[in-house]
Amino acid sequence: MSTLRGRVAGLPEWDRCAVMGVVNVTPDSFSDGGQWFDGELAVKHGLDLVNAGADLVDVGGESTRPGALRVDEAEELRRVVPVVRELAAAGAVVSVDTMRAAVAEQAIAAGAVLVNDVSGGSADPAMVPAVAAAGVPFVVMHWRGQSIDMNHRAHYTDVVAEVVAELRASVDRAVAGGIALERIVVDPGLGFAKTADHDLALLAGLAELRRELARPLLVAASRKRFLGRVLAGDQGAPPPARERDAATAAVSAIAAREGAWAVRVHEVGASADGVRVARAVEGAAAGSVQPAGSVRPAGSVPPVGSAGVV
């Protein structure tokens, strides 16, 4: 099934959709309200996510919720780099969630093996050259501008076609800047300059996104506003972010069945189960039901240099 999902050079090769756990080292995240802002707590949380089944953990120090203001570079570095260093030293596969080249460079030096840039390299002109020089994989997300005003940019005639075209242009810029194509992952940017209807259309169009972009696909739906709208229905207020984990797991199973390379989630356990079930269904469709792959059992943070990690 790895051929279906795409191989990302420089990362482990999972036989199913991978699960990326989120570690927000921020005081103002929409999803957890600063619960992991303390560095020690953030490290513990990251290891807990791995033990719950996360294949990699994504560490970020700057909120990108709608309306969020940016933090300065020094503060982002202070938040992120020590957490990356501790998690990597404990054997976790660590991604850094940043739009700044300097943060990416220092996080890579501390042990991060993937850069997840929600701007797709657009926010900082030094980002693509920095990632190219480091030779690490790069997540290119669909992005139309900073969080402070991105809701005003949510205008599409055909959201799937336009996201494909804009992502393709971002991938082309990254490759032209020296990042190897086989190291690029694409993310449709659910919730970023999108309405709930746009997000649902993109989920319905995952097969088209994969086919047209021909790159491994990261789906980051966890706890987002569109899930709150779906759960609220025609009446009532959307449930708070931390009450959207069951809906997130449903999206994770759908995304895995549609061939996503990874899902990015705040609560790992249910999504880890969801991708395993999706893998079992794939096996049944192929005529050979097999175990659902390498989701780690609880208490099994791998040692540094464990087999399969490149």
Pairing mode, strands 94-97 and 56-60? parallel
Helix (H) or strand (E) holding 65: none
Catalytic residue among 5, 225, 257, 264: 264
The answer to whether residue 264 is catalytic is: yes
Largest CA-CA distance found in the chain, in angstroms, rounded: 54
Distances (CA, A) of 216 to 196, 219, 251, 262: 24, 10, 17, 8
Write out the E strands in the chain: 18-24, 56-60, 94-97, 114-117, 138-141, 184-187, 218-219, 262-265
Report the residue count for the chain: 310
Determine the 3-state secondary structure of 199 from DSSP: helix
Q: What is the C-alpha separation between 97 and 77, in angstroms, rounded?
A: 12
Q: If phi over 0 gives left and psi between -120 and 50 gives alpha, with beta otherwise, what is residue 135?
A: left
Catalytic residue among 85, 144, 224, 244: 224
Q: What is the C-alpha separation between 226 and 19, in angstroms, rounded?
A: 21
The residues annotated as belonging to the active site are 224, 264
